[in-house]
Amino acid sequence: MSGEARKKLRSQMHDFRRRPEDLKPEQVQALEDLFEKVPSLGTIYHLRWEATKIFDTAPNRAEASRLLEDWIVQARETEMDWEPFITMLKNNWEGILAYFEERKSSGPVEGLNTKIRVVLRRSYGIQSLTTLWTRILLDVNWAAKKLGPTIAEIRGFVNQIQKYFSECYT
């Protein structure tokens, strides 16, 4: 593949990751041309966005379960090996369907955990636990803009942890 062709393919991969409704008509056409050359890529693209649509629109757990089962059948009808993904989906079926009850995910908690890990990496050499807690609270407080009202709950939890551990060390 020439350098120019490689550059064009790389730019199409950015479009490949974007939602179809966010693409301009010429981007859609370029992707369709790519899918004619590499049909399996088109299959992956369309099945991915069908699965995303289920998570965006399914009104409840039962409907989501039915739609996901239909999606699995559709994926198995392709000539591609979706079994590792389907196995993971089935192994986590109840947890995945739990999302449709309240439309909440563990994303904010995972983001907070990541932020704490970053603070810990940046805080090498801090000798005081109080300083470390302060640094974490400062960074988490900045994250309050994204997390909203749950930040008060997080602060309360952090205070409970700090209180518990303050009794464990001397």
Between 125 and 98, residue with greater pLDDT: 98
Gap between the Cα atoms of 156 and 170, Å rounded: 23
DSSP-based three-state secondary structure for 168: coil
Instruction: Write the pLDDT tens digit of every residue in 119-152.
Output: 888 888 888 888 888 788 777 776 555 555 566 6
* Mean of all residue pLDDT scores within the chain: 84
Lowest mean pLDDT among 4-13, 96-105, 127-136, 140-149: 140-149
Burial of 94 (0-12, 13-18, 19+ CB in 10 A): exposed
The pLDDT value given to residue 14: 82
Tokens 């090498």 belong to which residue?
124
Is 43 in contact with 19 (CB distance < 8 Å)? no
